[in-house]
Amino acid sequence: MHDLMVDTAGGATIAVLSVGGFLGMGERYVAIPLSALRWNGERERWMLPGATVDSLKARPAFTYPERR
């Protein structure tokens, strides 16, 4: 997980994931609802059940909103 975005207006919290790339080059970000992630205690990490590299790459790219 790269980042969490919390909607101050009460909307859903999203997890921003980095997909593709190698050592930070060529990567892009996708947004996933935080509620879709599951904690895997055995591996000690958050996981997205059923996700594949291809399914994540097929998601629309996420861009950060401009700060005001």
What would the mean pLDDT of 1-16 be, rounded to a whole number? 82
Cα gap 49→47, rounded to integer Å: 6
Domains of the chain, first to last: 3-57 (2.30.30.240)
What confidence score (pLDDT) does residue 5 get? 81
Residue 45 pLDDT exceeds 80: yes
Q: Which amino acid is at 20?
A: G
Higher-confidence residue: 16 or 68?
16
What confidence score (pLDDT) does residue 68 get? 66
Higher-confidence residue: 3 or 50?
50
In the chain, pLDDT over 90 holds for what percent of residues?
41
